[in-house]
Amino acid sequence: MAATFLNHPWGLQGSCCIPSSRKFASSSLRFPSSSLSWHGHKVRGSSSFSDDPAAFISDAIISSHRHESPSESESTLILIRHGESLWNEKNLFTGCCDVPLTRKGVEEAIEAGKRISYIPIDIIFTSVLIRAKMTAMLSMTQHHQKKVPIIIHNESEQATAWTRIYSEKTTKQSIPVITAWQLNERMYGELQGLNKQETAERYGKEKVHEWRRSFDIPPPKGESLEMCSERAVAYFKDFIEPQLKSGRHVMVAAHGNSLRSIIMYLEKLTSQEVMNLELSTGVPLLYIYKEGKFISRGSPVGTTEVGVYAYTQGLADYRQQFDEMSH
């Protein structure tokens, strides 16, 4: 495994997965062209390197997903903040440290999956942190597509070869999962691992509130929300938005601050407005992408409410298709 990680151009520093260069431009990610494939299929690529991790998805897979589109002119975007983590439970600053979900967090992820079980999903993006990946994977166990989410490993030629699937049928029954450090939680620097209450007592409530809630003031050796937003939104524009524009349905499982940054972009919020935006763990948010605009539809409240599927006629038709197939 160590040899595989050495191929990452951004490097690994402990468990925090922070790029060694501090340059958050998504163009810094580069993948070997020899592994431009999704389980043996010919894909779109470049002559020597690909900057787009989603380019590893085969045209065959994409085509098999397109017929499931609820509408020719719309696509869906689901945003989910990960379920409760072990450090959430202990009231510790987590940031980019890689901490798993609690039992409650697992239950939240499963409940989120029930809420979105009839909403189409073609591709999933997550951060590289385990709590976000767990949330994405667990939520998909509830989905009526019954497709299996599979994390794409193209960090090296060996990783691509060793994770190849040799069945066309199995591949078509899978959903690719792209992991990206740009979607990681805001890096809290010297606050990571500290108890939030004890930190407030040590530095003062006003100073800690400033670090946590200001837009452009970072904690010691950490990121401000503005810095987190630069990398998260750049990645969204470069890699996720093109998927939506092409008619694919996307789910993003990430973190409070990286998702707040993306929502700030989607809803054109000011830096002051985003300060007041709170995201609950394990609660999905739905957006419709149509005619170049993002339309917020809030959170699906449950799988049994008819109104959940009436966001658009396309989603209502999609739900009806599943109902007809089950009878």
Annotate 150-198 with DSSP letters as a single string: EE---SSHHHHHHT----HHHHHTEEEEEE-GGGSPPP-GGGTTSBHHH
pTM of the full structure: 0.79
Residue 66 scores a pLDDT above 90: no
No. of helices (H) and no. of strands (E), the chain: 14, 11
For the chain, the average pLDDT equals 80
Q: What is the mean pLDDT of residues 92-101?
A: 98
Annotated binding site for substrate: 81-88, 94-95, 131, 185-188, 196, 212-213, 256-257
Residue 78 vs residue 6, higher pLDDT = 78
Q: Sketch the domain layout of the chain as residue ranges.
A: 75-325
pLDDT at 17: 46
Residue 310 scores a pLDDT above 50: no
User: Are the CB atoms for 145 and 251 separated by under 8 Å?
Assistant: no
Annotated binding site: 81-88, 94-95, 131, 185-188, 196, 212-213, 256-257
- Tell me which DSSP letter residue 147 carries: P
CA max distance for the chain: 62
Strand partners, 151: 177
Residue 55 scores a pLDDT above 50: no
Residue 247 scores a pLDDT above 70: yes
pLDDT at 275: 85
152 band by pLDDT with thresholds 50, 70 and 90: very high
Return d(Cα 116, Cα 111) in angstroms, integer. Answer: 9
Find the radius of gyration of the CA atoms of the chain: 20
Q: What is the mean pLDDT of residues 60-76?
A: 56
307 band by pLDDT with thresholds 50, 70 and 90: very low
User: Are the CB atoms for 240 and 177 separated by under 8 Å?
Assistant: no
Annotated active-site residue in 108, 155, 185, 223 = 185
CATH of region 75-325: 3.40.50.1240
- Tell me which DSSP letter residue 10 carries: T
Residues 6+ apart with CB under 8 A from 206: none
Q: What is the mean pLDDT of residues 35-44?
A: 39
8 is catalytic: no
Annotated active-site residue in 39, 82, 143, 144 = 82
Q: What is the mean pLDDT of residues 169-183?
A: 96
One-letter amino acid of 194: L
E-strand ranges in the chain read: 31-32, 37-38, 41-42, 49-50, 74-81, 123-126, 148-151, 174-179, 250-254, 284-290, 293-296
3-state secondary structure of 321: helix
Return d(Cα 178, Cα 53) in angstroms, integer. Answer: 7
Nearest CA among 148, 146, 152, 135 for reference residue 175: 148
Q: What is the mean pLDDT of residues 130-155?
A: 95
65 is catalytic: no
One-letter amino acid of 104: K
38 band by pLDDT with thresholds 50, 70 and 90: very low
One-letter amino acid of 317: D
- CA-angle at 152, arms to 156 and 55, nearest 5°: 85
Q: What is the mean pLDDT of residues 237-266?
A: 97
276 band by pLDDT with thresholds 50, 70 and 90: confident
Nearest CA among 28, 36, 126 for reference residue 82: 126
111 band by pLDDT with thresholds 50, 70 and 90: very high
